[in-house]
């Protein structure tokens, strides 16, 4: 039995295989419409979500399976003090696979130790979000036609943005990736990640606080929201929340084939006027998220077409 807690739980070969399956699903959706007949997905969301929970549920329904679960901790027995371990042991009696989001870093990993069925981390605190990473990788591959030889700008809250941490960990396993980390000083990418990637051959990074000066070099621009829910002090959030706003004026400095990604939800960091630009890929990412989760669940449930 496999759990996916970190993107590193999948080898590069497995990631590429999942992306290949996802590509095939886009061309041949009907082929997959009964592969999970009789299977049940439980979505255990102790923290809010729109895309991740609903895309997991839509994915399982499109594969022929069914779904159960809860969307807030308050509607579960966590409010009575039940541990995540006991929760998954219980839910494992009702479902074949679990997708769990939790505000505490490491909670899905702890849950996986006692779970009788595969557990997928659907986001744990400011730590990791591996299925968003599969979404991002599929989008990058479909938009750019490659996963190597890329200059990737990551902009915004690089400290608390779990999608950034997971995506960096994934991209460092491909060739010739140059990261440009764009953030205010208070929201820089964690030192542990910089340390991890600093000695990998073919991987380089620079840090800057200026989007305008960096944007012209980028193949990918990964915009992120300042993660309000991770701040201890509201004044700091208000001061930092609009540090970067991508608008048409800044986009005029970018390459014609830039791909703009954002895990969403967006607040102010991308102006609405950018949505109609051909370089805006964030709503394609939403669709890709459902497809790649279908491919991942098929793999973990060991079902085939």
Whether 266 is catalytic:
no
CB of 102 to ligand CP, least distance (A): 13
Compare residues 52 and 183 and give the one whose CB is closer to ligand CP. 52
Whether 2 is catalytic:
no
Whether 52 is catalytic:
yes
Compare residues 35 and 159 and give the one whose CB is closer to ligand CP. 159
Side by side, which strands form the sheet with 97-102? 66-70, 40-45, 97-102, 119-124
d(Cα 117, Cα 96) in Å, to the nearest integer?
Answer: 6
CA distances 265 to 39, 79, 298, Å, are: 30, 27, 27
- Catalytic residue of the set 8, 51, 144, 230: 51
CB of 55 to ligand CP, least distance (A): 8
DSSP string, 95-134: -SEEEEEESSTTHHHHHHHH-SS-EEEEEETTTB-HHHHH
Residues sharing a CB contact under 8 Å with residue 259, sequence separation 6 or more, in sequence order:
139, 140, 143, 144, 219, 220, 221, 279, 281
Whether 146 is catalytic:
no
Binding site for ligand CP (CB under 6 A): 49-52, 123, 132, 263-265
Compare residues 89 and 266 and give the one whose CB is closer to ligand CP. 266
CB of 165 to ligand CP, least distance (A): 13
Compare residues 102 and 151 and give the one whose CB is closer to ligand CP. 102
- Catalytic residue of the set 101, 127, 294, 299: 101
Active site residue ranges: 51-52, 80, 101, 129
């Amino acid at each position: 039995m496999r759990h996916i807690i970190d993107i590193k739980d999948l080898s590069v070969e497995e990631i590429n295989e999942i992306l290949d399956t996802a590509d095939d699903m886009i061309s041949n959706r009907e082929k997959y419409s009964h592969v999970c007949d009789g299977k049940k997905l439980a979505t255990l969301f102790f923290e809010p979500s729109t895309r991740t929970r609903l895309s997991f549920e839509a994915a399982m329904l499109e594969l022929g399976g069914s779904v159960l679960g809860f969307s807030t901790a308050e509607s579960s027995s966590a409010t009575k003090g039940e541990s995540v371990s006991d929760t998954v042991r219980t839910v494992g009696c009702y479902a074949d696979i679990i997708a769990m989001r939790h505000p505490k870093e490491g909670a899905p990993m702890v849950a996986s130790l006692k779970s009788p069925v595969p557990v997928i981390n659907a986001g744990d605190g400011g730590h990791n979000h591996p299925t968003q990473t599969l979404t991002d990788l599929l989008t990058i591959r479909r938009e750019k036609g490659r996963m190597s030889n890329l200059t990737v700008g990551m902009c915004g809250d690089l400290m608390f943005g779990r999608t950034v941490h997971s995506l960096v960990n994934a991209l460092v396993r491909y060739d010739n990736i140059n990261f440009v980390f764009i953030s205010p000083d208070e929201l820089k990418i964690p030192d542990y990640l910089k340390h991890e990637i600093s000695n990998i051959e073919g991987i380089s990074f620079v840090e800057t606080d200026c989007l305008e000066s960096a944007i012209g070099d980028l193949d990918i621009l990964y915009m992120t929201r300042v993660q309000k829910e991770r701040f201890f002090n509201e004044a700091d959030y208000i001061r930092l929340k609009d540090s970067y706003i991508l608008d048409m004026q800044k986009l005029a400095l970018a390459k014609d084939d830039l791909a703009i990604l954002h895990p969403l939800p967006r607040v102010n960091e991308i102006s609405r006027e950018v949505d109609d630009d051909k370089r805006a890929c964030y709503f394609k990412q939403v669709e890709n998220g459902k497809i790649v989760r279908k491919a991942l669940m098929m793999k973990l449930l060991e079902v085939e077409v």
